[in-house]
Amino acid sequence: MTATATLPAAVPAHRDGNVLRWLGGYSASALGDSVYYIALSWTAVRGGTPAEAGLVMAVSAVPRALLMLGGGVIADRFGPRRVVIVSDTVRCLVVLGVAGLLLLSSPTLWVLAAVALVFGTVDALFLPAVGALPPRIAARDQLARVQGMRGLAQRTALVLGAPLGGLAVALGGPAAAFGVAGLLFAASLPLLLALRIAPLPGGGPARDGTALRDLTDGLRYLRRHRVLGPLMIVVALSDLGFVGPLNVGLALLADARGWGASGIGWVLAGFGTGAGAASLLLTVRGRIPRAGAVLGWTIALGSASLGALAYVPELPVAVALALSVGLLAGLSGALCGALTQTECDPAYLGRVTAVTSFVSLGLAPLSFPLTGAAVGLWGLGPVFVASAAMCALGGVYGLSVTALRRAELPGGKRPGTS
C-alpha cells in the first residue's frame, strides 16, 4: 500500500477505515505515553529522593519547549505521517531498551533523565506532526468529528493509562510497565504504516531553503492570516489564564477547603467527564455551526465557572463547576483545533500546530510558579478571578475579530479529490 494516495469520496469519519486506523494508532501511542510516565515516575521515586524524582520528570519539558517550533518545520518538510512513525519507533525502542536494562540491573537517575530527555525531544517532533495529519486523511467537513474522536482517545488514555501502568508495576515491577508501554508504541506502527494520506496541492513546500527560513516563513504566514493570527492570540490568553488555577490552584483550594487528595480527584474527574462529553458531542454531531462565535462564547462562559471555583465551600458544587469548565473548555479546544486545520494551508500546518503546542505546553506551564506565589500574596479568590479574567479576555478578543467570529467549519471534498 502506498503512503501517499488520492483518497476516496468523503464518508463520515467514524466509518472511514483510514481515519479509524489513524485513531487506533494514536490511541495506542497515547496509552503507551500514559503507561510510560507511570513507569518512569515510579522508577525515579524508588531510585532517589523526591526532589531528584521531580527533576527527572521535569527534564522532558526542556527540549519540548526549545525544539517544538523546529518540530513543526520538520513535519512540513518531511510529511507528518513519516515523522509520527519515526517518533513512535524511537519511543518503542527506547522504552523496550529500558525494560531490558531493568531486568539486568538498576539504572541510575542519570539514565532515567536521559530517557526523559529523549522523550521530550521526540514530543517536540511528534506533537506538530500529529496535529498536521487529520487534514491529510479526512474530509474538511469531518475535521470537527476527528477532533472529537481524538479528544475521546486522549481521555481514555488518561483514564486507563494510570491503572494499567500501576497493575504492570504490581505484577512485574517497573520493567513490566516499561515493557507494556513499549508494546503499545509498537502496536501503533502497523496502523500508522497503513495510513493513506492525500498529497499536498502543488506537491508540498520546497525544501531548498534553510530550516530557519522555513520557520520564519511559517511565522510570517501565521501573522498575516486573518483567522489564524487572532486565533493564536486567543489560544495564548485562554491557556495562560486556565492552566495555573487547574494545575496549581486546585491543589491549594482542596487543601484550604479540607477536601484532601480525594477532593482533587473528584474535581478532576468532573473536569474530565465534561471534556469527554464535549469530545463525544463533536464525534456524534460532526459539525458545530458558527464555530468561531461558539469558540469565543465557550471560552468566556468557561472562564466564569473557573473563577467561581474559588468561592464554593462544598465539594459537590465544585465538581459540578469543574464539569462545566471541562465541557466548555473541551468544546473550545476541539473547535480551535478544527478551525486551525480547516483554515490553514496544509503546507504550513506543521509549523502552525507547533506554535499552538509551544504556547500550550511551553509557555503556559510557566504560570505554575507565578500562580502559587500569587496565591500566597493575595489568596485564592483574587488569583482565580484574575486568571479567569485573562481567559475570558481571550474569548472576548476572539468575538471582537470579525473574521474569527464568522469563521465556519466548511463542508468540502476530501483533499486530493477532484
d(CA 54, CA 308): 31
Cell of 253: 483550594
pLDDT average, residue stretch 310-324: 92
Cell 503512503 belongs to: 3
* Backbone conformation region of residue 287, classed left if phi is above 0, alpha if psi is from -120 to 50, else beta: beta
> Higher confidence at residue 200 or residue 371?
371
Out of 6-10, 163-167, 171-175, 222-226, which region has the weakest mean confidence (pLDDT)? 6-10
| Per-residue pLDDT tens over the stretch 385-413 | 999 999 999 999 999 999 999 999 865 44
With CA atoms as reference, report the closest residue to 415 among 4, 1, 2.
4
Residue 141: predicted pLDDT: 84
With CA atoms as reference, report the closest residue to 390 among 327, 331, 306.
306
pLDDT average, residue stretch 78-99: 94
With CA atoms as reference, report the closest residue to 300 among 229, 228, 399, 367.
399
Residue 9: predicted pLDDT: 46
> Is the dihedral angle over the CA atoms 250, 252, 253, 254 positive or is it negative?
positive
Residue 97: predicted pLDDT: 93
Q: H-type helices in 286-378, by residue range?
A: 291-308, 315-343, 349-357, 367-378
| Per-residue pLDDT tens over the stretch 361-386 | 877 777 778 888 888 899 999 999 99
Residue 36: predicted pLDDT: 93
Query: For the chain, how many residues are written?
Result: 418
pLDDT average, residue stretch 85-113: 90
Burial status of residue 156 (CB atoms within 10 A of its CB: 0-12, 13-18, 19 or more): middle
CA 351, 354, 359: angle at the middle one, nearest 5? Answer: 135
In 3-state terms the chain splits into helix, strand, coil percentages (rounded to 5) of 85, 0, 15
| Per-residue pLDDT tens over the stretch 211-229 | 889 999 999 999 999 999 9
Out of 120-134, 147-161, 194-208, 269-283, which region has the weakest mean confidence (pLDDT)? 194-208
Residue 205: predicted pLDDT: 54
Residue 207: predicted pLDDT: 57
Indicate the average pLDDT of the chain: 87
> In this structure, which amino acid lies at residue 323?
L
Residue 7: predicted pLDDT: 45
Q: How many CA atoms lie within 13 A of 43 on its CB side?
A: 35
Decide if 138 contacts 414 (C-beta within 8 A): yes
d(CA 214, CA 27): 31
Burial status of residue 364 (CB atoms within 10 A of its CB: 0-12, 13-18, 19 or more): buried
With CA atoms as reference, report the closest residue to 328 among 371, 365, 281.
281
Inform me whether the pLDDT recorded for 5 exceeds 50. no
Domains annotated for the chain, with CATH where assigned, are: 13-197 (1.20.1250.20), 220-405 (1.20.1250.20)
Decide if 364 contacts 204 (C-beta within 8 A): no
d(CA 355, CA 359): 6
What Rg do the C-alpha atoms of the chain give, in angstroms? 21
d(CA 324, CA 310): 15
Question: What confidence category does residue 416 fall into, taking pLDDT thresholds of 50, 70 and 90?
Answer: very low
d(CA 405, CA 297): 10
Inform me whether the pLDDT recorded for 200 exceeds 80. no
The string of DSSP letters for 207-243 reads -SS-HHHHHHHHHHHHHH-TTHHHHHHHHHHHHHHHH
All residues at 6 or more sequence positions from 54 whose CB lies less than 8 Å from its CB, including other chains: none
Decide if 107 contacts 43 (C-beta within 8 A): yes
pTM listed for this prediction: 0.85
* 4 strand-pairing partners: 197
Cell of 264: 482533587
> Higher confidence at residue 370 or residue 261?
370
Cell 493564536 belongs to: 232
